[in-house]
A and B are shown apart, each in its own frame.
Chain A
C-alpha cells in the first residue's frame, strides 16, 4: 500500500480500500480489553483483532498467516484508545513484510514486535491519563450538575462529551498509524528520529504516571496519640517530611515486587492483607 519511494509519505488521504480497512479496524479494535489475562494481558485478543487483516494479507490458513498470528500473541498491554495507532501501523508493516517476501527481499519480522513493545508503554501512560483525567473528568463535570437535578440531559451530555473525542482519537490514530507505515517508521528508526519521538512519549508517559501516583493512590494514616499533652499526628508529620510519601512508597514497593516476580494476583492479595492489618491496628481507617 505505502510506496517506500513516495516522497510525501505522511499524507492522510485515503482511498476507498484503505478507508474500508481502517473502518473495520475501528470497530474490531474496540474489543481489545475483553478476555485480558494475567500472563498476556491483551496479547491473545490482540491476535484476534489482527486476524481478518492477517488473513487478507497472507491468505486463509497459510503457514505465514499462522506464523503472524503466533507473533501477535505476545504479551501486550496498552491503553485501548491508543491501540488503533499501533494496530494500523502493525497492519501496514505486515503488508510490507508480505510484499518483501514476494519480491525475495528479506524483511526483519522481529521489527514488528519490537515496534509494538516500544510503543505500548509510552502510549499506555499517555492514553490512561488522557482518558481517565481529561475525557472522563470533563464529561462528568459537564453532566453532573444537570444529573443532580434529575435532568435527562445530564446522562445524554455525558454520552456525547465522552464519546466524540474518543472516536476522533481512535479514527485518526488509525489513519496516522496506517499512513505513516512501516517503511517510513523504519527509515525514521535508522535516522534516530523515531527513537527521539518514543523517548519523548516515554518522558510524557512517565510524568503522567508520576502525577497519577500522586492523585489516584490514596494511602493515609489516621494514627494520632496524645504524648505528654501534645498531640502526635502521624500523617501531619509525614506530610511535613514529604507530601504523598506513603502512596509513593507503596507504589515503589509494588513496582519492585512486580519487576522481580511477575505475580499481580499475589501483589493484589498482599495489599489487601496489609490494608486489613493496618486497619485492625487502627493505623488507617
Chain B
C-alpha cells in the first residue's frame, strides 16, 4: 500500500469515526445547542477582556480595536478549525497511561486518524462561530484598503492557520508518548499560541516575536500576512515582503514535520502492559 493509499484510508476512518460521534451528539439536540451557546460565551471571554482593555485606551501596541479584532478573529477561527478537526488528539496521554491506546493499535486503521476522531466534539464549532463573528465585525469596522489579493488572503489565512495549529496539536500529541501526563505543556503552545496571536506583534518583546516567526512559525497564522493586509510593516527586520504570501508553504512544512514527529513518537511507544 502506497503513501497515498494510507492517507485515503486514514481520511475514510476519520470520517467514519467522527460521523459516529456526530450522530451520537445530535441525538440530544437541545443539550447540544446549549453546549454550543455556552461554548460561544466561554470562548468569547477573551475577546471581552480585549474590549475591556479598549474601554480604557484607544490603541494597544499602536493597533486600533478593529485591527486587533482582525488579528483575534483570524487566530480564534483558525485555531477553532484545528481544535475541531484534531483537538481530541490532546487526550492521547490519558490513553497511553491507562493502556487503551493498545486497542487502537490493533485496529486496521491509521492510529492518528483514530486518535483525532476519537470523541469528535462537534460542540467545538462554538469557537469557530465566535471567532468568525469577531472576524466579520472586524472586516466591516476596519478601514482596510481592499484589493483582490487581500480578499483572497483572508480565507487562505484561515485554512493555512488551521493547518499550522493542527501541526502543533499533532506534535503535542506525539510529545505525550514521551511525557504521559504533561498534556498541559501542549496547552501552552496551542491555547497559549492562540492567545499570543490575538494581540499585535508590536506588543511583545523582539525575542518572543523572533521565536514565533522563525522557530515555531505561529506568526504565519496571522501576524505576518495580516501586517500586509493592514498595510503595516512587520515589527522585525529581515522579514521580506513576500513572506506575507508564505503561509501555504509554512503550513505544508509544519504538517510534514508534525507527521515525522508523530511517527517517531508512535514508534517509541511501549505499552504499559496493563
Answer yes or no: do A and B interact: no
